[in-house]
Every structure is written in structure tokens, then in C-alpha cells.
Amino acid sequence: MRNRYVLLADLFAFVVAVFAAFGLRFDWYFFQHRPEFVPYVLAAPVIKAAVFYAFGMYGRFWRYATIDDLIALLIADSAASVAMAVFVFAEIYYLRFIEFSRSVLAADWLFALCATGAIRLAVRVLGEAHGRRRGALAGKRVLVVGAGDAGAIVTREMQRNPQLAMQPVGFVDDDPVKIGKRIYGVPVVGNLEQLRASIDLLRADEVIIAMPRVSGAVLRGVTEECRLAGIASRTMPGVFELLGGNVSVSRLRQVDITDLLRRSPIEAEPDVSQYVHGRTVLVTGAGGSIGFELCRQVAHSRPRCLVLLGHGENSIFEAAMQLREAFGGVRLETVIADIRDRARLFRVFDALRPEIVFHAAAHKHVPLMETNPEEAITNNVLGTQNVLDAATRVDCRRFVLISSDKAVTPSSLMGASKRMAEALVRDAAARTGHPYVVVRFGNVLGSRGSVVPAFKRRIEQGGPIYVTHPDMKRFFMTIPEAVHLVLQAGGMGKGGELFVLKMGEPLRIVQLAQDLIRLSGLALDEVSIVFTGLRPGEKLEESLWDDGAIVESTDHPEVLRVTEPRPPGAARIADVVGYLANAARSGDRQLIDAGLAEIVPAFAGGYGSSHARDGSS
């Protein structure tokens, strides 16, 4: 209803309220005996309408009136009554009326409030009744899973918007208090275990899952029940635009990364990184996913200075901006530098003298390093050596290398280069006697360039999702989990240890893709999965330690200490690093493989030292 019609109705209501107020106070004889009636009844619609207009009562869409709107109406009606009281006193003063009953003012306020409220209630009731009729005639019958705030809101959205062509016919919810009750006229018919029976009972055509904070396991169970029942299910996203049925980027449910783990996430403990408090801490690769999260969690413990070192100026700028907003009291230093630039690193370390270093900078993509082998060596191996040399030069007291499960029996150049970096750190720990340690873990969900963001992009584009092999498995952990445990392990080290993070059971990549499709609110048949075959350097499964390694528990239940054969001595490692530097400059893959095989005999790409050193091919 347009507001001009509401205004006309209000004018009539104001007049009726005056008649009712005078009639209540003086019976119906006031026409003859109450001279104040005529000026009052003429003034009421004019003054009250003006007050209503000033209070914005004709700038609201009463079809969607809320409690806040009713409170605003109460205030406007009260203000209008105050204005009428002022008019009455002026009337008494100027027109010399002997008296004016104050009870008339109170009754007029009450009748006017009821009448104007009834007008607006009628607008809403009629509009919603019209919407329900249209929805019932043309819409799908929808069962809503979840009778909380989200379920109530999504039900109201369907009732209010007939263009959605969706009719809510029932709820299911595990809260026993709600079962048997009605929410906006829609019954709560059972719990989640009775979902299939509820679908049949209500002849539902579709299920809307309105549980935005439910665990991934529950969500998977509901979608599977709907699949078995042969009806479509959709998950309510952060906003309720999904009800329109057109799936787009903004309408997909925002999947919580922890939904994909198929296990409970590790609970973070407070103050796990107190050893960084009051220290100068440097993080390499600070603009990356792991590096930034390291900076964020370190900043919680209030270091004396936090140094963000990275090669990409944009990522470092954004990381520093976010950290300054969140941790205004922490001193930040931003350094744009390439870890392959040895002289530059030495100048940075000499100037800032970090006491703790977290080395997260690395090339990590297996297929890219297979086709760019010299980059893997110069960054992952020589870069690590440069950072270590700069750290020992200023007597850095603690060093933590972020490593990968791909360093275990490596089949890829990237994995072999990370295993070589591990050997460098352990050698430095033996030479310095400082707690320089390695922390090894598997894939990180949601990190930049990882599989989950890639799958999300493909889902948003309607598919297909590309998976290399149906049997490929990987260990997964969230970024905050991994960094939390890295900080735990970094504080445990005495020197040269290899710590491995517990990551649960490995997940099949195809299963991860299917979960992501379902948790995005889509059916599996809406996004296809295409298998492309293994790429060079990839394995079907990864391990977290070598066969025969000694695995021990630590003070933290999620961190393991692993003992593997110690790397060769310092002289041999230095010799191989020099050899790899020359091989990288020449870009000869066979020479690179042979050099890595000197320190990493299990490397599948190795050619053997004598074969490479004599220059044969």
C-alpha cells in the first residue's frame, strides 16, 4: 500500500479517535454541550498528520513493519498527543473555554494509537496473506532444517516474497523444546533423525539447510539423507539470496575450512608462544599464507619487534596494514628482500639483529619446480643457507624451518630441495649449539595457491573440478592449526630436532572436492569432477616420516619428535651446496638431481654423484 493511502486512513482514524474519546468521557451528548469539541476535532487530523510526517511515519514500508517500527509509531502518537495538549492549552487561553477534560486527551492518545497501529498491521497482514496465497499456488513445498534464528529468518523470507515461489511447510530441529511448536505458523515436526520421515509426511519438494554454524559432519549427513530421499537440498549462505535459486559467487555458502577436515579442529591454547614475548622476531615469507598467520599469532604475544620479510611488496604491504590495525602496540618492520640476495640479508640481519627466525619463504608447487629446477635450488636450498648464515652471523638464538611432507622419500624436486633445507638447519644446529629446529607438516587447507581455493573457483564457475587421480590422498590441516603447532614446536627445541605435526588420517582429494561441492550448497551432479592423471613429481600418498624413523611423543599431544638418520657432516654439506649453486647457474637438471642425491639418497630423480661429477650424461 502506498503511503498516501496510509495518510488518508490516518486522517480518518484521528477523527474517529476524537469522537470515541469524547463519547467515552461524555456519552453521546457532547455535540450539544461541549463547545471545545469542534475546534479539537478539526485540529486533530492536521496537527497529528504533521507530527507523523515529521517523525517519518510516511517514509516507512509498512509491508515489512517490525517491532522497531511499532516503537516509532508509539513515539509519534505520543508526540502528536503532546502537540494536541499544547493546542488545548492555547485554546483555553485564547478562546476562554472554561474547562477541557484531561481524560479526553488520554483516551484520544489510546484510540489514535490503536487505530493507526491497526492500519499498519492490516497492511502487513494483507500483504503477507497475498504472498502466502501466491507461494502456495505456484511454489515448491520446502522443509527447513534448523528452527533457530537462521531458520526463522529464511522462513519469513519465503513467506514475504512470493516471487521466490517457495512455501515453507515444516521445520526439523534437534531441540526437543521446539518440536511440536509453530514458528511463523510453520510447525516443527521432528528432529534430524526424522528428516526422511518428515520429507515424506510433508511431501516436501526441497530442503533448505538453515544451520550456518553446524559442523561439516552434520551437514554432510543431512545432504546425504536428502540425496537418498531423491530431493534437492540447498544450504543457506551468509545472506539469503540463495532462495532465489540462481547460484552465483555471492550466493554460494561460505564453507568453513574446518568443515572439510573430517575431524575436530585442534584447540588453540593461549600464550603458547610466550618465548617470543619481548624479543625481536623475523619471519621470512611473511606475505604468504603461513608467514602472515605466523606474524599474526606472534604479534599476540607482544614481541619487542616483528620483522616482516618478503619478496612481494604488495603482500607485505597488505600484511603489515592488517597487523597494524589489529596490533597497534607492536613495533613492525617491513623488509622487501629476496632470500637469494645474500648481501642484502646480511645487511638486514646486522641492522635488526633478530633473536628468533621463522623461515617460511619457499617455492612449494611441485609441478612448477619440476619445470623450473634452478628456482627450487636457488630459493629453497641456497636461500635457506643464506638465511641461516645471516642468523648465525648475529648469533640468532632460535631458528624454525617450515618444512613439508613432500621432503619424505621425495619423488619431486621440490620435496628434495626441502629435504636439503632440513639438512642445512640440522647442520647449523650442530655447529652453533642453538635450538635450530625443523617443523614438518602436510598440506594446508585454504593457503594461497592450494587445492581448496582452486576447487572453490571451479565451483563458482560451474565446474568442472580437476583432480589428478581418484586415489590420491593428502594430509590436511588448517592454517591457524599448523601455525599454532609450529609455535609450540619452536619453543620445545633444544637443537637439531625434527618435529612433525599430527594431522589425522589422510583425505582423498576427490572426497575433499565432493565435500566442498555439498558444503557450498550444491548437489554432486551440479558440478562434475574430471580426473587428469598424475603430474611429474607427484605421489598418490605422502608420509610424514621415513620408514624406520623413531617417533616419540612430546609435551604437546599434537606434536611428535621424529628421529631420522642425521645428515652428512658440515664439510660435505658445504661441498654439495657449492655444487648445487653451480648446477643451478647452468640450469642442468641432471647435475641438480645428482647433487641433491648426495644428501638425499632416496630422491627418485637422483643420478648418483659419480655419474654427474664426471660430466657424463
Cell of 397: 638464538
Extended strands (E) in 36-80: none
Q: Three-state SS for 582?
A: helix
Dihedral through CA 484, CA 490, CA 492, CA 498, nearest 10? 110
Q: CB-side exposure of 600: number of CA atoms within 13 Å?
A: 32
Q: d(Cα 346, Cα 333) in Å, to the nearest integer?
A: 16
Q: d(Cα 139, Cα 203) in Å, to the nearest integer?
A: 13
Angle subtended by helix axes 289-300 and 313-326, to nearest 10? 20
Q: d(Cα 192, Cα 223) in Å, to the nearest integer?
A: 11
pLDDT at 284 over 60: yes
Most confident of 335-339, 482-486, 612-616: 335-339
Cell of 409: 622419500
pLDDT at 153 over 50: yes
Which residue in 253, 243, 247, 233 sits closest to 162, CA to CA?
Answer: 243
User: Which pLDDT belongs to residue 19?
Assistant: 83
- Cell 521432528 belongs to 190
User: Which pLDDT belongs to residue 526?
Assistant: 79
Greatest CA span in the chain, whole angstroms?
A: 127
Q: d(Cα 530, Cα 594) in Å, to the nearest integer?
A: 36
- Cell 551437514 belongs to 219
User: Which pLDDT belongs to residue 435?
Assistant: 93
User: Which pLDDT belongs to residue 93?
Assistant: 62
DSSP 268: P
Domains, the chain, ordered by start = 3-129 (no CATH), 139-254 (3.40.50.720), 274-441+478-508+536-587 (3.40.50.720)
Cell of 245: 535459486
Phi and psi of 577, rounded to 5°? -60, -45
User: Any idea which of 32-36, 208-212, 396-400 has the lowest mean pLDDT?
Assistant: 32-36
- Give the pLDDT confidence of 219-275 residue by residue, as tens digits: 778 877 887 888 877 776 543 333 344 333 334 445 555 556 655 555 555 555 678
Q: d(Cα 530, Cα 232) in Å, to the nearest integer?
A: 23
- Give the pLDDT confidence of 347-391 residue by residue, as tens digits: 999 999 999 999 999 998 888 999 999 999 999 999 999 999 999
Are 490 and 358 within 8 A, CB to CB?
yes
Distance of CA 3 to the CA centre of its chain: 41
Q: d(Cα 489, Cα 562) in Å, to the nearest integer?
A: 12
- Give the pLDDT confidence of 309-320 residue by residue, as tens digits: 999 999 999 999
Q: Which amino acid is at 174?
A: D
Helices and strands of the chain, counted as H and E runs:
21, 21
Find the mean pLDDT for residues 267-285: 79
Are 523 and 233 within 8 A, CB to CB?
yes
Per-residue confidence at 425, pLDDT binned at 50, 70, 90? very high
Per-residue confidence at 130, pLDDT binned at 50, 70, 90? low
Q: d(Cα 183, Cα 152) in Å, to the nearest integer?
A: 7
- Cell 619424505 belongs to 408
Cell of 32: 450539544
User: Which pLDDT belongs to residue 484?
Assistant: 87
Q: Three-state SS for 333?
A: strand
Which residue in 249, 330, 335 sits closest to 291, CA to CA?
Answer: 335
Which residue in 10, 107, 91, 94 sits closest to 50, CA to CA?
Answer: 10
Contacts for 106 with CB less than 8 Å, ≥ 6 apart = none
Q: d(Cα 209, Cα 143) in Å, to the nearest integer?
A: 9
Q: In terms of DSSP bridges, do strands 507-508 and 473-474 run parallel, antiparallel, or are they unpaired?
A: antiparallel
- Cell 611432507 belongs to 405
pTM of the model as a whole: 0.61
Distance of CA 384 to the CA centre of its chain: 33
pLDDT at 413 over 90: yes
- Residue 556 Cα distances to 139, 263, 275, 393, angstroms: 55, 18, 16, 32
Q: Which amino acid is at 140?
A: K
In the chain, % of residues over pLDDT 70: 84
- Give the pLDDT confidence of 501-523 residue by residue, as tens digits: 887 788 888 888 888 887 776 77
Which residue in 220, 412, 485, 449 sits closest to 312, CA to CA?
Answer: 449
Per-residue confidence at 337, pLDDT binned at 50, 70, 90? very high
Per-residue confidence at 525, pLDDT binned at 50, 70, 90? confident
Averaged pLDDT score across all residues of the chain: 82
Q: d(Cα 87, Cα 85) in Å, to the nearest integer?
A: 5
pLDDT at 334 over 60: yes
User: Which pLDDT belongs to residue 64?
Assistant: 63
Per-residue confidence at 291, pLDDT binned at 50, 70, 90? very high
pLDDT at 608 over 60: no
Are 452 and 479 within 8 A, CB to CB?
no
Q: d(Cα 572, Cα 393) in Å, to the nearest integer?
A: 21
Find the mean pLDDT for residues 171-178: 90
User: Which pLDDT belongs to residue 249?
Assistant: 32
Find the mean pLDDT for residues 175-199: 88
User: Which pLDDT belongs to residue 92?
Assistant: 66
User: Which pLDDT belongs to residue 248?
Assistant: 36
Contacts for 305 with CB less than 8 Å, ≥ 6 apart = 280, 281, 331, 332, 333, 352
Per-residue confidence at 614, pLDDT binned at 50, 70, 90? very low
Q: Three-state SS for 166?
A: strand
User: Which pLDDT belongs to residue 295?
Assistant: 94
User: Which pLDDT belongs to residue 383?
Assistant: 96
- Give the pLDDT confidence of 132-144 residue by residue, as tens digits: 555 555 568 899 9
